[in-house]
Amino acid sequence: MNISDRLREERNRLGMIQTDAAKAAGVGYTTYLGYEKGERFPNAESLHGLFLAGFDVLYIVTGTRNNSTLSNEQSAVLEQFSRIDERLHPAVLTSLQALAATKL
């Protein structure tokens, strides 16, 4: 199985049509179609957009499933948290705890 096959498989797993996947990847429909046909390959920016849409990018690129128990969204939050100054970590954690306690 190659990248184009795994990309199509991921799109189907998520119940997306090609137009939606193209939007997530930040490319036009024909460009995305080229990805699934194996005529083109997504760049890092497109893969990032697909990741944010729920695609298992590790699987698409390597053929190995991401066995993390974290969702893509949770991984993205942790990535952003790791980029902020450590002195701000307590304030961020306090904010998250307050949001988690909020009843909507």
Return the structure tokens found at 77: 């939050």
Q: One digit per residue, pLDDT tens: the chain, 104 residues?
A: 899 999 999 999 999 999 999 999 999 999 999 999 999 999 999 999 999 898 999 999 998 887 777 777 887 887 788 889 989 988 999 998 898 888 87
Give the C-alpha separation, 48 to 16, whole Å. Answer: 17
Q: Smallest Cα–Cα separation from 46: which of 23, 63, 66? A: 23
List the chain domain ranges. 3-62, 72-101
Q: At the top level of CATH, which class does the domain 3-62 belong to?
A: mainly alpha
pTM of the predicted model as reported, rounded to 2 decimal places:
0.67
